């Protein structure tokens, strides 16, 4: 396949940045999106140019490092898929593809497509932990958890912190990420001691970082590579209201 | 947002039910309009209920708009650099995209509507006509554009409520479990649809001559 790429290039946080057009030829439909960018970068390096910087680590959809807005959609239009797991067979030969970094004030661009997501780390630090010694995995029947809660907590726990929810939200809100963590810990017995203070601290940190307010548009869930359910935001709101009224 | 919205929704339900009295004839409707002004009399001065309602509504509308403007400003601050590619919506939900501009259209409608029905300024019957005559005169077939504006505005109200109600349930944390969430989602749609139908019934029936 031959493709035209329009990629955001920005040499550093002080650079204003611009879209630059590249051609890539002989792309195999079996390549992942990142492998396609590798092909471009190898050529750029040979030509003495600066390769396009992008984040990645596992390349198997579990670490949450990769992520870019592809043709206006975070992680591309393929549902429930990280950028590293997106394959070129979903694009047409000759396609023009726009590639941009996550756009949000709390996610400043470090270089090209790489953004600084430390704001997520600070939200976790504010309350995304349990203080009981959790130790090694307990026996399955040692601490009974209702099936419904176990399932909901598990679903929420699959969040990989990629930030696509923020990138896709028209308000630039981090509610889905924060709600996933609050739901995951708050529904399990080990998470009960800090349940109220956690919700309050994490929501306040999220607001302090400069993320926008949630207006329940549902764009986050739709692009989330892990399909974190929208219901987690209701859980976060419920826990937050409970902590505010106690 | 949720609290001020709830006040407005409660008003709309009452207002819609009141409007339906037009089908019971001129006397019933005028008597109802009169009752709104004299309820509690003689213990309370005239217009007590109306004045309380008016103050509550003005406050609710003002705070509702203030909340909407602050959310929009926070959103603009959270994304100082826009995307070059048009952000493609991945969530389904037409109503969601109409909240901000739809809200503006509804406010414009309310202004026209007050001039029309409350003060009679733009009503052919004028301010001195009885409420029933004002309503009949306002929706004559010759004034089809007024009726059309009411219809469009009511559809906007319906869309606004559909997302607004559901959004309020979500903000209050009531939609935590799939079964409850689906029930509330359907509930929001049903309440919105009933309100729209209840509101447009009177203008439509006057326009086609069923109510004279
Ligand atoms: C087709 C739908 C509607 C019809 C036929 C209608 C009709 C009327 C009438 C006849 C009155 C005057 C009542 C009286 O003088 O006692 C009135 C007042 C009013 N309506 Fe509506 N209305 C409609 C929809 C709405 C909607 C959707 C809103 C708000 C979003 C609204 C807000 C108001 C307000 C604020 C007043 C004034 C209340 C007051 O003066 O205390 N109306 N309407
Ligand atoms: S909620 Fe989904 S989109 Fe948001 S950070 Fe977690 S995995 Fe990524
Ligand atoms: S590189 Fe790890 S999720 Fe994509």
Query: Is the confidence at residue A216, as pLDDT, over 90?
Result: yes
Do the domain assignments include residue A138?
Answer: no
Q: Note the pLDDT of residue A245.
A: 84
For A73, A91, A103, A161, the CA distances from A97, given in Å and listed in that order, are 11, 9, 17, 25
Judgement on whether residues A123 and A218 belong to the same structural domain of the protein? yes
Do the domain assignments include residue A198?
Answer: yes
Is the CB of residue B106 below 6 angstroms from any atom belonging to ligand 1? yes
Predicted confidence (pLDDT) per residue in B116-144, tens digit:
988 888 899 888 889 999 999 999 998 99
Nearest-Cα distance to chain A for B179, in Å, is: 11
Which residues span the domain enclosing B48? 2-77+97-207
Average pLDDT across chain A, whole number: 96
Do the domain assignments include residue B88?
Answer: no
Predicted confidence (pLDDT) per residue in B151-163, tens digit:
999 999 999 999 9
N-terminal to C-terminal alpha carbon distance within chain A = 60
Give the domain CATH number at A184.
Answer: 1.10.1060.10
Judgement on whether residues A11 and A98 belong to the same structural domain of the protein? yes
Q: Are B117 and B135 in contact (CB under 8 A)?
A: yes
- Residue A150 near chain B (CB below 8 Å): no
Which residues span the domain enclosing A22? 3-111
Judgement on whether residues A7 and A107 belong to the same structural domain of the protein? yes
Among A72, A210, A237, select the one facing B88 at the smallest CB separation. A72
Beta strand A73-74 with A18-24: parallel, antiparallel or unpaired? unpaired
Q: Note the pLDDT of residue A225.
A: 98
From CA A85, how far away is CA A82, in angstroms rounded?
Answer: 5
Do the domain assignments include residue B42?
Answer: yes
From CA A149, how far away is CA A143, in angstroms rounded?
Answer: 13
**Could you tell me the pLDDT band of residue A228, with boundaries at 50, 70 and 90?**
very high
Average pLDDT across chain B, whole number: 93
Selection from B202, B111, B104 nearest residue B151 by Cα: B202
Number of domains in chain B: 1
Judgement on whether residues A177 and A209 belong to the same structural domain of the protein? yes
Bridge partner residues of A115 (DSSP) = A109
The mean pLDDT value for B31-38 works out to 92
Query: Is the confidence at residue B198, as pLDDT, over 80?
Result: yes
Q: Give B64 Cα–ligand 1 centroid separation in angstroms.
A: 18
Do the domain assignments include residue A136?
Answer: no
Selection from B135, B188, B139 nearest residue B161 by Cα: B188
Judgement on whether residues A105 and A121 belong to the same structural domain of the protein? no
Judgement on whether residues A86 and A206 belong to the same structural domain of the protein? no
Q: Note the pLDDT of residue A105.
A: 98
Query: Is the confidence at residue A195, as pLDDT, over 90?
Result: yes
Tally the residues of chain A. Answer: 246
From CA A222, how far away is CA A102, in angstroms rounded?
Answer: 16
Do the domain assignments include residue A20?
Answer: yes
Query: Is the confidence at residue A211, as pLDDT, over 80?
Result: yes
Do the domain assignments include residue A61?
Answer: yes
Tally the residues of chain B. Answer: 212
Residue A13: how many other CB atoms lie within 10 Å: 11
Do the domain assignments include residue B17?
Answer: yes
Q: Note the pLDDT of residue A61.
A: 97
Ligand closest to B203 (CA) is 1
Query: Is the confidence at residue B30, as pLDDT, over 90?
Result: yes
Predicted confidence (pLDDT) per residue in A144-191, tens digit:
999 999 999 999 999 999 999 999 999 999 999 999 999 999 999 999
For A141, A168, B151, B185, the CA distances from B1, given in Å and listed in that order, are 44, 23, 25, 18
Do the domain assignments include residue A137?
Answer: no
Do the domain assignments include residue A164?
Answer: yes
Q: Note the pLDDT of residue B161.
A: 95
**Where would I find the beta strands (DSSP E) of A36-173?**
69-70, 73-74, 96-100, 109-111, 114-115
Judgement on whether residues A124 and A96 belong to the same structural domain of the protein? no
Predicted confidence (pLDDT) per residue in A52-98, tens digit:
999 999 999 999 999 999 999 999 999 999 999 999 999 999 999 99
Q: Are A168 and A212 in contact (CB under 8 A)?
A: no
Judgement on whether residues A127 and A103 belong to the same structural domain of the protein? no
Query: Is the confidence at residue A139, as pLDDT, over 90?
Result: no
Judgement on whether residues A51 and A71 belong to the same structural domain of the protein? yes
Predicted confidence (pLDDT) per residue in B65-107, tens digit:
999 999 999 999 999 999 999 888 998 778 898 999 999 999 9
Judgement on whether residues A171 and A192 belong to the same structural domain of the protein? yes
Number of domains in chain A: 2
Do the domain assignments include residue B61?
Answer: yes
Give the domain CATH number at A59.
Answer: 3.10.20.30
Enter the tokens of residue B10.
């409660």
- Residue B179 near chain A (CB below 8 Å): no
Do the domain assignments include residue A32?
Answer: yes
Q: Note the pLDDT of residue A140.
A: 82
Q: Which of B66, B72, B91 has the highest number of chain A CBs within 10 A, making it the mutation to test binding with A?
A: B91
What is the predicted ipTM?
Answer: 0.91
Residues of B numbered 68-127 whose beta carbons fall under 8 angstroms of chain A's beta carbons: which are they?
70-71, 74-75, 77-93, 96, 99
Judgement on whether residues A87 and A104 belong to the same structural domain of the protein? yes
Question: Phi/psi zone of residue A23: left (φ > 0), alpha (ψ -120 to 50 degrees), beta?
Answer: beta
Judgement on whether residues A51 and A104 belong to the same structural domain of the protein? yes
């Amino acid at each position: 396949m031959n493709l035209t790429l329009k990629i955001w290039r920005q040499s550093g946080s002080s650079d204003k940045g611009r879209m630059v057009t590249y051609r890539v030829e002989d792309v195999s439909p079996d390549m992942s999106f990142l492998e396609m960018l590798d092909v471009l970068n190898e050529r750029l390096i040979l030509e003495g140019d600066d390769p396009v910087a992008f984040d990645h680590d596992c390349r198997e959809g579990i670490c949450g490092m990769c992520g870019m807005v592809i043709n206006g959609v975070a992680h591309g239009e393929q549902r429930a898929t990280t950028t590293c797991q997106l394959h070129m067979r979903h694009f047409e030969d000759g396609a023009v593809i726009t590639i941009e970094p996550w756009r949000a004030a709390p996610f400043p661009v470090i270089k090209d497509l790489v953004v600084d997501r430390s704001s997520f780390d600070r939200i976790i630090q504010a309350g995304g932990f349990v203080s009981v010694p959790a130790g090694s995995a307990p026996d399955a029947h040692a601490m009974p958890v209702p099936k419904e809660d176990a399932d909901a907590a598990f679903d929420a726990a699959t969040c990989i912190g990629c930030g696509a929810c923020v990138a896709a939200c028209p308000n630039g809100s981090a509610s889905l990420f924060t709600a996933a963590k609050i739901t995951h810990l708050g529904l399990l017995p080990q998470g009960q001691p800090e349940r109220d203070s956690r919700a309050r601290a994490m929501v306040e940190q999220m607001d302090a970082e400069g993320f926008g307010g949630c207006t329940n548009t549902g764009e986050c869930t739709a692009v989330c590579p892990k399909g974190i359910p929208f219901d987690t935001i209701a859980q976060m709101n419920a826990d937050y209201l409970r902590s505010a009224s106690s | 947002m949720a609290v001020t919205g709830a006040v407005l929704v409660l008003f709309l339900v009452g207002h819609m039910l009141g409007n339906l009295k037009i089908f019971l004839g001129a006397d019933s409707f005028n008597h109802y309009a009169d009752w709104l002004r004299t309820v509690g009399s003689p213990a309370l001065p005239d217009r007590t209920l109306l004045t309380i309602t008016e103050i509550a509504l003005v406050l609710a509308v003002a705070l509702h708009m203030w909340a909407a403007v602050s959310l929009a400003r926070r959103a603009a601050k959270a994304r100082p650099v826009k995307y070059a590619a048009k952000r493609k919506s991945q969530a389904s939900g037409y109503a969601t995209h109409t909240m901000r501009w739809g809200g503006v259209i509804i406010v414009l409608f309310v202004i026209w509507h007050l001039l029309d029905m409350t003060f009679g300024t733009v009503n052919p019957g004028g301010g001195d006509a009885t409420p029933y005559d004002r309503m009949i005169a306002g929706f004559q077939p010759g004034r089809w554009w007024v009726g059309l504006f009411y219809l469009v505005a009511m559809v906007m109200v319906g869309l606004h409520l559909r997302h607004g109600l559901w959004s309020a349930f979500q903000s209050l944390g009531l939609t935590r479990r799939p079964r409850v969430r689906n029930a509330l989602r359907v509930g929001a749609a049903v309440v919105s649809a009933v309100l729209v139908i209840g509101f447009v019934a009177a203008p439509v029936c006057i326009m086609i001559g069923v109510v004279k």
